[in-house]
Amino acid sequence: MNWPLLSRMLGSLGMLVGGSMVLALPWAFPAFGETETFELRGFLGLLGAIVCSVGLGGLLYFLGRKETGSILRKEALAIVGLGWLLSGVLGALPFLFSGTQRAPDVPMNVADALFESVSGFTTTGASVLTELEKPELVPRCILFWRCFTHWLGGMGIIVLFVAILGQLGAGGKALVRREVPGPINESVRPRVRETALLMWTIYVGISGLLAVLYMLQRMSPYDALCHTFGTMATGGFSTRNASIGAFSDTPLVEATTILFMLVAGTNFTLYYLCLRGTDTSGPWYTRFAPLFRDPEYRVYLGVVAVVTLLLTVNLTWLGQYAEEASTPLGAFGLSLRHALFVTVSVMTTTGFGTVDFTEWSEFAKGVLLALMFVGGCSGSTGGGVKVIRFILFFRVVRLEIERAYRPNVVRRMRVFGLPVDDGLRHDVVVYFAIVLFLLVAGWLTLAAIEPDSAWLGSGDTPPTVAEKLLDSASAVASCLNNIGPGLGVLGPHDNYAGFSPQGKLLLTLLMLLGRLELFAILVLFVPSFWRVQ
């Protein structure tokens, strides 16, 4: 391990995170943060965090300033894994320094702040804060920083780091490949810095468009920006206790959010291909041909359509919204509206809530629990296992079934019109195996270490064994797949405040594992990884 090089890279990343906190400072002022008075506590908390982050980053950079070696595979894994850990720790400082309270007279402790910070950067959206609309508990500028961590982590802080820093050569490509989600991460341009800049340009452009649309729909600039961060990063942090549902008095806000959640869950490389479109002589819609030619994107939309239909039929059949229906289509229309929003929110791992789906039938909750594992497309800001891995996995299973009765047949598996080598097939199967192991291990560990009080929610009746097991399983699945809300006491209108510090730290680790797709974090626990060669 090249320790000086690692120190220099982590130092640069620490200064980048500290510098990004500056953008939250103006929201402490009444003209920006929609507060009646200057938020001195939040301003000083952010200022202290900036000083610490830049100071620590500068020290690490100074220690490794003379190292000019190349970033190899081991260094790339270490920089990505430790870089995200460092970002999570530095991102927690504003919560601690500002005295942010997760509930009245209950200040955030280290586990709370780390949980909230990592949840933001990993775009999970799980929270321990219970009173978001009270500036005396959560300063507006701190709430802005909380949402901004989503946006930084959505496209990737390492990708941003490469785009800004550049001059990393092949090492930059190694870093990007370790952070960008999905098993197929081909660069759309030969130079990795150009790719990183291009992806961030598209990301910023779409985010700007969404922010303008939200403001046109009567959101304040503050709310529009914060919800843009949560939507485009598929994170789900909100400025309101009721999440995006606080603005759903008009269906247009929901429709806009659904559209851009789907956009964020799509492979951003496809947007570049659409913008680059060489055939400009045909109708305008031919530019979108790369989207619909992509098999992963078609399956992605297909899963959304099928699950929405299943949930709509189930909700209508059971009369879930029969008494509330006031739309022209009656209960069916209202069921379709809620089913579509929840399906897209869970599928893209955004986690925004407009209704409490924990009140739905057991069938509907089971479908949503399964959907948590699917996630968005590779190369998107969405979490989960990714649609492409499910495509590959089912094709591998189909080939193995055929081999059971035709063992001498040799058949190449193809994806995107290209043959898939045995190495990629092996990686996909191993990935599914590790995810299953982490799910079971995390589920049983969480159920064992958490007291019954963690599962009480708003009621006082002790949970049954089945309820505790189901809720703990949904908590692990939600954090591992970077979704946020779960089932039972972890529904879209509840949070993780009732968990013990050790439970929050376990879930924090699962968030990092899910966002970095396991290996960049798992290798940090292997002693031989750190040996100097």
Please report the pLDDT score of residue 187 as a whole number.
46
Per-residue pLDDT tens over the stretch 404-450 = 888 777 777 776 666 777 777 888 888 899 999 999 999 989 988 88
CA 484-307-296 angle, 5° bins: 85
Integer Cα distance of 62 and 12 in angstroms: 10
Per-residue pLDDT tens over the stretch 124-157 = 988 999 888 888 899 999 999 999 999 998 887 7
DSSP alpha helix (H) spans, 450-486: 465-480
Please report the pLDDT score of residue 341 as a whole number.
94
Average pLDDT over residues 210-225: 92
- The domain segmentation of the chain, as residue ranges, is 3-189
Report which of residues 21 and 32 the model is more confident about: 21
164 sits in the region (left: phi over 0; alpha: psi -120 to 50; else beta) called alpha
Tell me which amino acid residue 81 is.
Answer: G
Report which of residues 450 and 184 the model is more confident about: 450
Tell me which amino acid residue 218 is.
Answer: R
User: Is the predicted pLDDT of residue 490 greater than 70, yes or no?
Assistant: yes
Q: Which helix (H) or strand (E) holds 61?
A: helix 40-63
Please report the pLDDT score of residue 31 as a whole number.
76
Integer Cα distance of 2 and 383 in angstroms: 31
Q: Considering only CA atoms, which of 477, 327, 380, 473 is closest in space to residue 155? A: 380
Please report the pLDDT score of residue 188 as a whole number.
46
Please report the pLDDT score of residue 381 as a whole number.
86
Burial-class residue 1 by CB neighbours within 10 Å (0-12, 13-18, 19+): middle
Tell me which amino acid residue 43 is.
Answer: F
Q: Considering only CA atoms, which of 448, 485, 441 is closest in space to residue 468? A: 448
What are the structure tokens assigned to 205, written together?
A: 């452009």
Quick one: pLDDT band at residue 397, thresholds 50, 70, 90?
A: confident
Which residue matches tokens 């320094």?
Answer: 97
Q: Considering only CA atoms, which of 466, 444, 445 is closest in space to residue 455? A: 466
Alpha-carbon Rg for the chain in angstroms: 23
Please report the pLDDT score of residue 181 as a whole number.
59
pTM: 0.89
User: Is the predicted pLDDT of residue 52 greater than 80, yes or no?
Assistant: yes
Per-residue pLDDT tens over the stretch 285-294 = 667 788 888 8
Please report the pLDDT score of residue 291 as a whole number.
83
User: Is the predicted pLDDT of residue 459 greater than 90, yes or no?
Assistant: no
Please report the pLDDT score of residue 200 as a whole number.
85
Give, as one character, the DSSP assignment of residue 517.
Answer: T
Per mean pLDDT, which range of 55-59, 171-175, 192-196 is the poorest? 171-175
